């Protein structure tokens, strides 16, 4: 079982670790070749698209759970049907984004405030990059299907290839053709379509025999598909709102606190890159074991995955305890920010310990398509815990109150999902 878990988890961890390289490369390009306004356009444009596409993460999660369960049942027609429905939903969603791109752009700039020149460059960036939507969202669907098929190697290859191509295109357009932030946007569009074509190559090359199971009958029966995915959408939206509010509340205090909290959240992000690998593994195996009605193997897999995640969280907490100043120095050379961050480092140290159960339970619940329970837990975690804790404590605790609210939210998710697991995992 350890081998199966690691076989699925390690490629996902490698994929996740390749993602930050792209952001760093884009910033480095604009930092050296572009203006300060180009750098701002990349930051604002990237934030807008991160928000938009993160909302469509439900498509990957839902497809993984459905596919893994059907694979466990050896119901190959349904395995093919889940991919077909996911791609149909992806293309439909992308077309809506393209149709309403002007409205989305205006709404984004109403919410996000920047200088006139930065907003002008960001608008150009947005108008180019939005055309990657069909490829980006379709990749979510195909990636979810691959993971449901117990294949995390292909998503790893696709992600690494896509990011390397993206960097290559960006360098070509900026250095050779003299473009700036618009060149970065165009490079992203081309890379996304290359990633889509590569995923389709893997799909037809290695799973082409499954085409014989495809039928149009039932492809428009999306009731259960949308029921599960709508709950995942609400859950994801609440998580995004909580994290966005964290940034807004940081900015309301002062610029130094905003810088401090932004840096300290990177510790959480780095940890999540590793834990997500085990969460994806739990998604794939939970669905497969449930579909095969192999409950004893499911329970054993969950236990072993929690042991791996728990050990990893202890390692990260110890690393953050012993090397926090070194990590902060790697992220910034501003000594005043590092000094200001010191009082809040204890929150960072305990993050891995209180968040790892939520990561793994997310994977189990997704594999079990228990999206209603995930939605309800997230509602309670944000509405009952996160916001009340912050507003009750900010007057006396200041920024510590914001971190307390974040920790309590994650801890409540871990506790509630553990409590509700009996309803998700059959006896």
More confident residue, 216 or 191: 191
More confident residue, 388 or 258: 388
Q: Is the pLDDT of residue 224 over 90?
A: no
Dihedral, CA atoms, 276, 264, 55, 106, nearest 10 degrees? -160
pLDDT of residue 387: 95
pLDDT of residue 130: 93
- Give the Cα separation of 97 and 311 in Å (integer): 42
Tell me: do 203 and 161 sit in the same domain: yes
pLDDT of residue 157: 95
Q: Is the pLDDT of residue 18 over 80?
A: no
CA angle 185, 117, 132 (to 5 degrees): 15
- Give the Cα separation of 97 and 93 in Å (integer): 6
Residue 145 belongs to some domain of the structure:
yes
* pLDDT-derived band at 114, boundaries 50, 70, 90: low
Tell me: do 99 and 216 sit in the same domain: yes
Tell me: do 204 and 243 sit in the same domain: no
pLDDT of residue 298: 93
pLDDT of residue 49: 83
Tell me: do 294 and 425 sit in the same domain: yes
pLDDT of residue 26: 61
Could you identify the residue written with the tokens 């339970």? 361
Could you identify the residue written with the tokens 């902060």? 328
Count CA atoms within 13 Å of residue 370 on its CB side: 24
Q: Is the pLDDT of residue 34 over 60?
A: no
Could you identify the residue written with the tokens 């909302």? 55
Mean pLDDT score of the chain: 87
Buried b (16+ CB within 10 A) or exposed e, 172-184: ebbeeeebbbbbb
More confident residue, 106 or 118: 106
List the structure tokens of 225. 């598909």
Please state which of the ranges 19-23, 102-106, 278-282 shows the lowest mean pLDDT. Answer: 19-23
List the structure tokens of 144. 């979810």
Tell me: do 243 and 176 sit in the same domain: no
Residue 18 belongs to some domain of the structure:
yes
pLDDT of residue 120: 81
Tell me: do 384 and 303 sit in the same domain: yes
Could you identify the residue written with the tokens 């996902």? 12
Could you identify the residue written with the tokens 């609440």? 238
Tell me: do 199 and 266 sit in the same domain: no
Asked whether 378 and 321 are in contact (CB, 8 A), the reply is no
Instruction: Report in angstroms the alpha-carbon separations of 17 from 57, 150, 156, 165, 270.
Output: 18, 20, 10, 16, 8
Q: How far apart are the first and last CA of the chain?
A: 20
List the structure tokens of 394. 């900010």
pLDDT of residue 96: 94
- Give the Cα separation of 338 and 318 in Å (integer): 19
Tell me: do 59 and 25 sit in the same domain: yes
Asked whether 141 and 64 are in contact (CB, 8 A), the reply is no
- Give the Cα separation of 192 and 137 in Å (integer): 10
Angle at which helices 57-72 and 345-367 cross, to 10°: 50
Q: What is the mean pLDDT of residues 195-204?
A: 96
Residue 113 belongs to some domain of the structure:
yes
Q: What is the mean pLDDT of residues 158-168?
A: 91
Asked whether 190 and 165 are in contact (CB, 8 A), the reply is yes
Which of 299, 307, 390, 389 lies closest to 356 in space, CA to CA? Answer: 307
Q: Is the pLDDT of residue 300 over 90?
A: yes
Tell me: do 189 and 57 sit in the same domain: yes
pLDDT of residue 20: 62
Asked whether 79 and 149 are in contact (CB, 8 A), the reply is yes
Q: What is the DSSP letter of 385?
A: I
pLDDT of residue 28: 59
Q: Residue 139 sits in which domain range?
A: 7-221
pLDDT of residue 77: 92
Residue 100 belongs to some domain of the structure:
yes
As a residue count, the chain comes to 427
* pLDDT-derived band at 1, boundaries 50, 70, 90: confident
Residue 216 belongs to some domain of the structure:
yes
Outline where 344-398 has alpha helix (H): 345-367, 371-379, 387-397
Which of 370, 162, 366, 203 lies closest to 280 in space, CA to CA? Answer: 366
Tell me: do 131 and 278 sit in the same domain: no
Tell me: do 137 and 83 sit in the same domain: yes
Q: Is the pLDDT of residue 33 over 60?
A: no
List all residues 6 or more positions away from 147 whose beta carbon is below 8 Å from its beta carbon: 8, 12, 60, 64, 67, 68, 155, 280, 283, 284
Residue 1 belongs to some domain of the structure:
no
Tell me: do 202 and 286 sit in the same domain: no
Report the number of distinct structural domains present in the chain.
2
Q: Is the pLDDT of residue 25 over 70?
A: no
């Amino acid at each position: 079982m350890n081998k199966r878990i690691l076989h699925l988890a390690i490629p996902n961890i490698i994929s996740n670790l390749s993602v930050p390289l792209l952001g760093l490369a884009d910033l480095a390009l604009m930092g050296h070749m572009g203006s300060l306004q180009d750098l701002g356009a990349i930051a604002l444009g990237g934030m807008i698209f991160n928000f938009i596409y993160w909302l469509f993460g439900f498509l990957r999660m839902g497809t993984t759970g459905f596919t893994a369960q059907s694979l466990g049942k050896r119901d190959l027609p349904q395995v093919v049907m889940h991919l077909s429905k996911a791609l149909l939903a992806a293309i439909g969603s992308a077309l809506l984004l393209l149709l309403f791109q002007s409205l989305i752009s205006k709404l984004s700039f109403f919410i996000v405030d920047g200088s006139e020149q930065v907003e002008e460059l960001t608008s150009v960036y947005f108008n180019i990059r939005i055309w990657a939507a069909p490829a980006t969202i379709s990749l979510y669907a195909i990636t979810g299907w691959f993971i449901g098929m117990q294949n995390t190697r292909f998503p790893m290859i696709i992600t690494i290839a896509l990011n390397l191509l993206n960097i290559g295109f960006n360098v070509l357009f900026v250095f050779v053709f003299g473009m700036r932030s618009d060149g970065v946007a165009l490079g992203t569009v081309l890379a996304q379509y290359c990633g889509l074509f590569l995923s389709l190559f893997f799909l037809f090359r290695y799973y082409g025999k499954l085409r014989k199971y495809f039928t149009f009958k039932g492809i428009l029966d999306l009731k259960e598909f949308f029921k599960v995915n709508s709950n995942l959408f609400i859950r994801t939206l609440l998580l995004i709102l909580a994290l966005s509010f964290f940034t807004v509340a940081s900015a309301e205090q002062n610029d130094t606190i905003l810088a401090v909290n932004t840096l300290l959240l990177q510790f959480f992000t780095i940890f999540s890159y590793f834990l997500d690998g085990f969460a994806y593994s739990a998604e794939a195996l939970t669905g497969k074991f449930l579909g095969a009605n192999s409950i004893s193997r499911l329970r054993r897999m969950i236990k072993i995955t929690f042991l791996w995640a728990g050990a990893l969280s202890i390692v990260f907490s110890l690393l953050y305890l012993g090397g926090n100043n070194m990590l902060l120095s790697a992220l910034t050379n501003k000594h005043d920010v590092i000094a200001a961050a010191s009082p809040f480092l204890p929150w960072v140290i305990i993050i891995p310990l209180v968040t790892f159960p939520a990561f793994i339970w997310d994977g189990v619940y997704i594999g079990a398509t228990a999206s209603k329970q995930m939605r309800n837990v997230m509602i309670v975690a944000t509405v009952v815990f996160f916001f009340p804790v912050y507003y009750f404590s900010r007057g006396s605790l200041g920024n510590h109150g914001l971190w307390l609210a974040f920790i309590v939210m994650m801890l409540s998710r871990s506790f509630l999902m553990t409590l509700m697991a009996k309803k998700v995992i059959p006896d």
